Structure formats: C-alpha cells, structure tokens
Chain A
Amino acid sequence: MKKYTLHLNSKRCIGCHACEVHCKTNKKLPVGPILCEISHPPLKAAKGFPMTEFQFRSCYHCEDPSCVPVCPTGAMKKREDGIVYVDQEKCIGCLACISACPWSVPQFNPATGKVVKCDYCMDRVDSGLKPACVSKCTTYALKFVELKEI
C-alpha cells in the first residue's frame, strides 16, 4: 500500500529549483542525473496577465511499478510502505528499469555506474526526517504527505 506522496503547493513555489539541488547534494550525485524536477508550461496571457504555474515531478512510486519486475538482479525493489528504491549493492547498471519506466524516472549515475532514483530519501524518512527536497524547500512549498485510508 502506497503510504507517502510529495505535494507541491504551487501558490508558494517560486520555481527556484532548489529542491533539485537539495536532492542531488544529499545523494552526492554528480552532474547528470536530476531526480526531481520543477517545470512550468510556457507563459500565457490570461486576462492580459502573463501567467503560468510551477509543477513538481519525481518518481511516482507506482502501485504496480514496471521497473521492478524487469530488474534482472532484484536491485529495484518496492517496500511495504510503497517506496520504490534501488539497492545499490545489487544494481549492475543495465538500465532495463529506465526503458521500462514510462517516464524514464530512474537515471544513470556516471559516478557509480549504477542507477539512481528518488526513494523519498528513505534513510531520512526511516529516522523520522523528511526528504531533502522537502526539508530545505526555499519557501516551504513542498510537503511530504502521509496517505491514510479513509
């Protein structure tokens, strides 16, 4: 059962891309892989005002992830709480998961030769902290939400 999600309050988001760097530095990633992304549709005039809205995307941590079954070594795993992650010990960098994912979410890390992806910073989550992108969001626009069954 999926337990968590990331929510962006786009009213507060200022498109500063800090979350992307918070994520990268926490995971010690080199230039290349970017595990979450702030984007926005092109500016459009609405009632004479140029408008757009910021969107945040990282891994969707699918209920039924395509990346997990294609992994030949069992490195791509899904936890009980729904977090889909790569076991770095087992990953051989074959990139099968990248092809399998409809959004090419997993990415190649040239520094390790393995795949890396958003795992909600599960080491932080497990010690009661929030993912790096949320903890340091410049404007407190990103929230780590615990999903509850109603």
Chain B
Amino acid sequence: MKKTAWSLCSMCSVRCPIKVEVEDNEVTWIEGNPKILKGALCAKGSAGTALRDDTERPQQPLIRKGPRGGGRWEPVTWEQAADYIADKLKGIIEKYGAKAIMLSDRGGPFPDLHKAFIHALGSPNYSNHDSGCGRNVHHASLSVYGLGRKDFVYDIKNSKHLVLFGRNILESLRIAEANQVLDMLDAGGRMTYVDVRQTITGLKATRFIQVRPGTDYALLLGLIHGLIKKEAYDKEFIEKYVTGFDELVKFIEPYTPEWAATECGIKPKAVNDFIAEIIQDMPKIVFHPGWMLARYRDSFYASRAIQILNVLCGNVEVKGGQIFAKGAGDCGKKGLKSLDAQIPKPTDPRADGVGTKYKHFDKGPGLFHLFYDVMKTGEPYPIKALFCYRHDPLNCFPDPEAQKAVLDNCDLLVSIDVHYSEFGWYSDVILPESMYLERESILAVAKGPSPRIQIRQKAVEPKFNTKPSWEIFKLLADKMGVGQRLPYNTIEELWNFQLEPTGYKIEDFNEKGFISLSDGPVMYDRNNLDGKFKTPSGKIEIISQKLTDAGLPSLKPYESPAKPEKGKFRLVFGRTAVNAHGHTINNPLLFELFPENSLWIHKREATKLGIEDGDWVDVISDGASGTLRATVTEFIHPEAVYTCHGFGRQIPAQTRAYGAGVSDSRLQTGLLMDMDVAGGGLNLCEKFVTVKRSSKNMKRRVEL
C-alpha cells in the first residue's frame, strides 16, 4: 500500500519540513516539502532511511546491569522500565522532594511536552543544551532588544550584504537559509565571512577575512568605530528607538579600524574597504549574530557588538534586514494551546540559580552546566535524577570524564533518545524513542514573517520496540500519578487539545503538511515599533539595564586573547554539512562519507613539527589526549588547530563510529564551568593543546 506522510526531519536540529513516500511500511522517498523547499534535502535528510534500518540503535528499553558505563544491559518491557524509573523517582521525591529531579532536552520546537512533564512532577528544573551552544547569542539579543534570538529572522535573500562572524552558514546547514544566501549572491549581493580558517562559506564569500583566533570582538569594535566616525548610521532610527548611543560613542573612541586590523592580524585596507561596503549597503545588510557561539571569553560581547551594528544600520523590520518573527497573534489568530501552561508552576527556585542568583539570564531553560555544580555540592538543594531527552551532554559539553564524576552523585540517570548517546551509555535506563519517520510529534508553530503550524505525521510503523516521546512521557506521568497533567491517550487527542483555540482541524494539514497562519509576509509599521522591544526601558538598549543591575558592563573594554605558548595551539572546532554533532556519525551512509575527523594545522607549524599531510598526530591537552590524522593546510591561522566536532565516540555498540577520530569535547578538559558570567555560554575555544607527530606513524617496514 502506498501513502504519503508529512513530517519534519530530525537528522539535525533544524527540522526541515519533509514529504515522505511510503510503500508497504517502507520509506521509498524522502524530499524537502515541495511547497517550502521545492524538494531540496541534505545528505543527512536522505540518510534518514539508513537510520531507520540501523540495528545499532537501542531496540527496546534497557536497564543497566553492572557499573555505569560498563555496557551491560538488560532488555526489559516498557512497563518494567517505567516501574523501575517510577520507584526510583518516588524514593528521591520522598527524601529530597520533587525539585531534585531535572530534565534536559535540545531545545527546538517541541519542549512544551518536556516542560509539562517535569513541571507536572513538581520540579522547576527544566534545562537544555544551549549553554554549550547558542546561549550567548540568545542573551545578547535579549540584552539589546529584550527579545530572544529566535524572535528575529534574517531576510538574507533580499539583503545586499550578509556578514558572518564564524557562522558557517553553508556547512552548519539550514536548507532554506542556505538557498537564501545563494539567491542573494546570484542577485549580485555581497557576503563577508570572518573566521580563523577557510570553509565552504568562505569559498562563496565575496570577502573572506582570516583573523587571529579570538579577535572577532576587536574587528567588530573597529567596524562600529568606522561607522560612527563617518556618521554613517541611521540617526532617525537611533533617535527614536535606541538608548545608550552617547555612551557607545564615548566607549568606541580608542577602537579605530587601524587598531582593529593590527589586533586581528589583517591589513587596515581590508577593514576600511569593508566599512565602505557596509555604508553602501545599509540598511539592507544583515550582521548574523551567530548560532553556536559558546566559543571565546568575549563571545557574548561580540554577539552584542554584532547586534549594535545591526542597530546602527537601522536594519530592524526592513526588507533585506532583520525582521521580527511573527506568531499566530500577529496574524490575528489564536496560537496552539500549551500543555505546560495548564500546569501550575512549581514554586521552588531553580537549582541552577537562574532567576534568583543570575537575574539577567533567560529563566526558561536556565543553564545546564550549572547543574553540575549543584550535583557536586548539593547546594542550594540536591539534584538526584536527570532525564536527558535527545540531549547528549557527554558529547556536547566539555570534559566528559569530569561530568561522569559529578553524575555519579545522581541516583537515577535516564536517557530518552533514538540513538545510543554517550550519556545514554553511562545512564541507568535507556528509553528508546522511535526514529522520526516512525513517530508523530506534538504540533509546533514555525515563527517568521509568514508563520505556520507544522505537523510530524508518522510515516512508517516502528521497526523495533520503541515509542514516540509523547507516549513515553505519558507512560511515565501515569506511573507517577500525574497522568492527568498530560490530558491525552492518543496523538489525535493531543493534537486536538493543541488545536482547540485555533479552530483548525487535524485534516487541515493533509494537503501540504502545514497550515499557513498568514496570506503573505506580515510586517510591522517600522515607524511605530513602540512596545515591540521588551527591554526594561522598552527601547533598544545599548546599555542594558539588566546587565547594569547585575553589576556587569554592557560595553566591555577589549582584552586581547591569549597567544598560545610555544608549541601549543588553540583548539577550535566546527561542522560539515554531512554530520550533525555526534548523533549522525554512526549512520552507515554518512559514516561512509566522513568516517573520521582530522586535525587541521598550518603548513608552517606542521613543518616545524615534522608533520606531513596525512600523518598521525597526537593532540594532548592536560589530562586527555587523542590521535588522529593531520590535514596540513595554509588556510588556517597558525595559532589554531581545528577539528570537526562529534567524533571519537566511546560506545562499543556503535561499531562504525566507536573510537573513530577524536572528540574535541574530551580534549576540552577544565572548561566545564568556564562560563561567561554575562552571556551564560561556555568558552569552548579557550583550550590550548600540544600537537606532535605520533609514534603510530610507521618508521620502517618490518614485514615483507
């Protein structure tokens, strides 16, 4: 029997809308939703079928036997697994209270369900991966506009110039966005790319600036200086909507473009030419604030400086600039009913101190890594159970061994995931989720100029004894006696619950996989944006009231990043278009394309160390090391070495990925609590490593 299902890809976190063709319960074709992506799909998206067929994923609930991480599992039924978890939780609640339970996910469009679950249990401790990802960007945006990073979209297609500071937009891939970039370039637009190494994005850029690692903020300050000195900024916009401009003018005085050029190790002409282009192109220019920006000690301030440039160019709510992401309310419609909103908020303060000790951070998910401190000290109160849903802290946060030592203070670790994650392998119970083609998810609104409600329909029946997350959380909630907080038994009941205020029906998704909430792009009146900025002053705050209240500067004086000691290199990391973090490395078809990572090292430095292209090299940080092959290139800054994130997996059940390549997280020893107190992000590029030619290289041939 043939059928078509509308779904959302889940091979990475972008969740591109897809159309899935099915015959006799097998997927025959996946393509990008024709109405949105005209069929386009990336390599990961097509490899979804290989994930479905992959037997190297958990196939039924598993309870740990033997020590944590030992890899001995007892297959159990869902009932047994849920009873086991419920027993443990009840014990924890009795001893420490419900607040001792926490849950973390990977953000995205579906957290309403996860928040509802943890709040139904009575704990305020919902968190996600983002302090090792985009928190600096989010908090920078909040501090400037009072709006988060997802409250704006970038109208790249209609812009004249896209400026990217390490945002590798053509490899950390969002299909629709990548096509906007290429359309803009085809139409004669400009793209400036700033990074410490060449990438595919840099290849397509009209201007590529290779800076010394950690000096993005210097270049940004130089650009701001250039615009202000030339009085090239949108005076009317600033007059109307911005506070703190005078302080900025005073602050920026020493940071000339020439100073910036010296600091970044580039030619002054490159900076001045760049400034001239910015002036020509404003306001149709987008300075992208970054995505994964848990990198340098001043990344938060760099992201703020990017936003200040956007503001100076007056690109807010401008075609070709940044546009407010519109929701149902902006279209005169009612949004989806939230599960979480029906549940009384637990009254305990969050254990990570976000909202109490740290008032300038977004309380929503708080900051995951701070919970490690809580688990270690038991202050302000103990955390004894951790659920990770589709989140692998041991892969995405630094120093997994340090994390494991702290996790040992927990009485219960549960992984809910399609894959074996590094966390799952160390946990007590693995609850295997059905892979995305085998499950439905809750409905979600995709905000934007033309917002829509999206559906993930089940394309095929699960191959193994797995369940969708909506069912898993319901099962656990039932066992804990709070099942009524998740008021559904079937996915249709859940969807109908969500759709109730909207007036739409489940059938309304059948035609194209989504419901448009507007007939076309919704734009606010740019001359009347009062009330749109959610800062304490209601204005765009160059001097953030919240940062000032927290005793933090809004305009941080520049500090030059440390240079590596002799023989050491700054370890930087990134991505390619064929893999998404760690969880796709073991996919048979993606592994075939990219089986292990290598270490990029500058030719000059490699020569000094006697390293040739393709040699095995040992990368040594304090307390950890790894051996991988060298890629010797001229196109990386000599102070840095680079590797692709996600490799070096330590899960024997993933036979392909096991031990292939090196994990950058493992080398990032000592960085687990190295947080930017202003931005909340971790400083993952603040690790210096030693590199040497490995003894693994053959010196002579012994055998015939």
Contact = CB atoms under 8 A, between A and B. Distances in A.
Is B one of A's binding partners? Answer: yes
Interface of A: 11-12, 14-18, 20-22, 24-26, 30-32, 34, 43, 45, 49-52, 135-140
Contact of A16 (B31, B39, B43): B43
Nearest to A141: B182
Contacts of B200: 14-15
A18 B42 contact: yes
Contacts of B175: 138
Interface residues of B, number: 41
A106 to B, nearest CB: 19
B19 to A, nearest CB: 11
Interface string B569-589: 000000001100000000011
B208 A50 contact: yes
Contacts of A51: 203
Interface in B162-189: 170-171, 173, 175, 178-179, 182, 185-186
A21 B178 contact: no
Contacts of A45: 634-635
The 3 A-B residue pairs with the shortest CB-CB distance in the complex, in nearest-first order:
A16-B577, A18-B43, A21-B46
Interface in B38-92: 38-43, 45-47, 49-50
B43 A17 contact: yes
A144 to B, nearest CB: 13
Given A18-B45, A31-B589, A43-B633, A50 B40 contact: no
In terms of DSSP, what is the predominant structure of the interface of chain A? loop
A49 B50 CA distance: 38
A11 B50 CA distance: 30
Contact of B635 (A14, A17, A43, A140): A43
A12 B50 CA distance: 27
A138 B173 contact: yes
B209 to A, nearest CB: 10
A130 to B, nearest CB: 9
B592 interface: yes
Given A25-B50, A136-B32, A138-B42, A14 B178 contact: yes
Given A20-B593, A31-B588, A43-B633, A15 B40 contact: no
A43 B47 contact: no
B46 A16 contact: no
B29 interface: yes
A20 B43 CA distance: 8
Contacts of B50: 25
Contacts of A18: 41-43, 45-46, 577
Nearest to B27: A25
Contacts of A135: 31, 39
25 contacts: A11-B185, A12-B182, A14-B170, A14-B173, A14-B178, A14-B204, A15-B200, A15-B577, A16-B577, A17-B43, A17-B578, A21-B593, A32-B592, A43-B634, A45-B635, A49-B208, A50-B208, A51-B203, A135-B31, A135-B39, A136-B41, A138-B175, A138-B577, A139-B178, A140-B40
